[in-house]
Amino acid sequence: MTSKKIVLHFPQRLVDQPIVYKLVKEFDLQFNILKASVTPQEEGLMVLELVGKKENFDKGVEYLKSCGVKIEPLSKDVVRDEHKCTSCGVCVPVCPTGALSVDTKSRKINFDNKKCIACEICVKICPPRAMEVRF
């Protein structure tokens, strides 16, 4: 199985087409929409995590390219510097995916990188600057 986070840029002419549906139906891929901005008559942007057999994943990516969708890997990650983190919790309520949470017993902040969509909200709000973007 292959699992990758990718960024899709849809040209204006494709925003009303069932592109993601075809990834599921024709290429047997599972998807998780991590972030999306798709508006009629405008260019669309979507961050997806695609999961499936490597062969199907590759065919799905080729299909997207043939439609005119620009594809980029999600080339940045948010990481936490454990030494800087004071577990103040400011980041927890602003995280849209629940990647940051409070351990109820220790009161320490947990960071699940797999849930992170690199939106960078936590980076901007972290008082001790423990959250960082790595490219």
Domain span at residue 9 reads 2-73
Supply the CATH number for residue 92's domain. Answer: 3.30.70.20
| Residue 41 sits in the same domain as residue 68 | yes
| Residue 6 sits in the same domain as residue 55 | yes
**pLDDT at position 135:** 56
The span from the CA of 20 to the CA of 49, in Å, is 11
Do the Cβ atoms of 31 and 52 come closer than 8 Å? no
| Residue 16 sits in the same domain as residue 68 | yes
Buried b (16+ CB within 10 A) or exposed e, 106-133: eeebebeeebbbbbebbbeebeeebbee
- Final residue belonging to a domain, choices 73, 98, 117: 73
| Residue 28 sits in the same domain as residue 65 | yes
| Residue 22 sits in the same domain as residue 85 | no
**pLDDT at position 60:** 95
Supply the CATH number for residue 41's domain. Answer: 3.30.70.260
Number of domains in the chain: 2
Do the Cβ atoms of 85 and 18 come closer than 8 Å? no
| Residue 82 sits in the same domain as residue 114 | yes
Mean pLDDT by 10 residues, the chain (135 residues): 88 86 94 85 86 95 94 82 95 95 95 87 95 80
pTM beyond cutoff 0.75: no
| Residue 55 sits in the same domain as residue 24 | yes
